[in-house]
Amino acid sequence: MSVRPEPSQNHLLAALSPEVQGRLFPHLELVPLPLRAVLYESGRAMRHVYFPTDSIVSLQYVMESGESTAILVVGNEGLLGITLFMGGESTPSRSLVQSAGYAYRLPRARVKEEFQRHGQLLVLMLRYTQALITQIAQTAVCNRHHSIDQQLCRWLLLSMDRLSHNHLTMTQEFIASMLGVRREGVTQAALKLRELGAISYGRGSIRVLDRAKLEALSCECYEVVKKETDLLLPYLPQRQLIKDAGSIPVVKL
């Protein structure tokens, strides 16, 4: 987090043609996203679209009772605020920073202006939206049918995919509120994963030791979403992107 991130660390921004980038990038604003910051509150008007570079943001629905569930995880593969493209001004969800980092943001007016051109940004957004629908739907299925153990694995994998290291800074309490389960349930699941050597952890920090084990223990939901997303948005995987940030291929539109 000490190095100033580049816009192109966000896969969607990177996938735009130089022409579109030329129009948009001057209006980008780099914002630090501290842990637990709230980008959008349920029902409030959105003023920007956010493109995370190295942060992770979760969308949660909060119930009247205070219970909540995360339905979506967004990192440098995507963006927050598709509602602005869609024609709404707000959603019934809350966006919460799940892993601190940076994001570039674009004012609502600029987004709409570029969108009106019906060019690359539109096409990219639509594809991204499709991927996002798949992730939300799979979350619904997962909530219905799978154990906390499996869902914790899925959650860790989703987070790992959006980071360049294997180290998560979050408490079990926080994960519990994201999964919409009790903290004790997460503790039990984490203990099992630790015994199996898949992770290690302590006081608000989790390290993934054996990714393959997590994948094996996770339900199919993770894999289904990943496959579908890769199909819709055939970017380079993140590691290659970072190594060779100068030659990011443009998504075939």
Partner DNA sequence: GCGCTTATGTGTGCTAGCGCACCGAGCCGC
Partner DNA sequence: GCGGCTCGGTGCGCTAGCACACATAAGCGC
Shortest distance in whole angstroms from residue 209 CB to its own copies: 27
Binding segment for DNA among 1-9, 72-80, 110-118, 166-174 (CB under 7 A)?
Answer: 166-174
Q: How far apart are CA 180 and CA 146, in angstroms?
A: 13
Residue placing its CB nearer to DNA in the complex, 80 or 179: 179
Contact between 214 and 153 under an 8 Å Cβ cutoff? The reply is yes
Which of 121, 148, 178, 198: binder of DNA (CB under 7 A)?
Answer: 148
Using CB under 8 A as the criterion, which residues of the chain lie in contact with its own copies when the complex forms?
59, 61, 63-65, 67, 69, 71-72, 82-83, 85-88, 91-93, 118, 122-123, 126-127, 129-130, 132-134, 136-141, 143-145, 180-181, 220, 224, 228, 231-232
3-state secondary structure of 40: strand
For residue 125, which of 190, 76, 79, 184 has the smallest C-alpha distance? 79
Which two three-digit tokens encode residue 220?
Answer: 């199919």
Which two three-digit tokens encode residue 87?
Answer: 């024609």
Contact between 99 and 205 under an 8 Å Cβ cutoff? The reply is no
Which two three-digit tokens encode residue 135?
Answer: 């992730």
User: Is residue 173 involved in binding DNA (CB under 7 A)?
Assistant: yes
Contact between 154 and 222 under an 8 Å Cβ cutoff? The reply is yes
Q: How many CB atoms lie within 10 A of CB 82?
A: 18
Residue placing its CB nearer to DNA in the complex, 146 or 213: 146
CA distances from 39 to 150, 223, 238 (A): 28, 28, 24
Residue placing its CB nearer to DNA in the complex, 28 or 189: 189
Which of 9, 55, 60, 172: binder of DNA (CB under 7 A)?
Answer: 172
Q: How far apart are CA 205 and CA 99, in angstroms?
A: 11
Residue placing its CB nearer to DNA in the complex, 158 or 206: 206
Kindly identify the residues of this chain, within the stretch 175-204, that bind DNA according to CB under 7 A: 180-185, 187-188, 190-191, 194, 201-204
Pick from its own copies, DNA, none: which does 148 bind, CB < 5 to 8 A by kind? DNA
Residues that bind DNA (CB under 7 A): 146-149, 171-173, 180-185, 187-188, 190-191, 194, 201-204
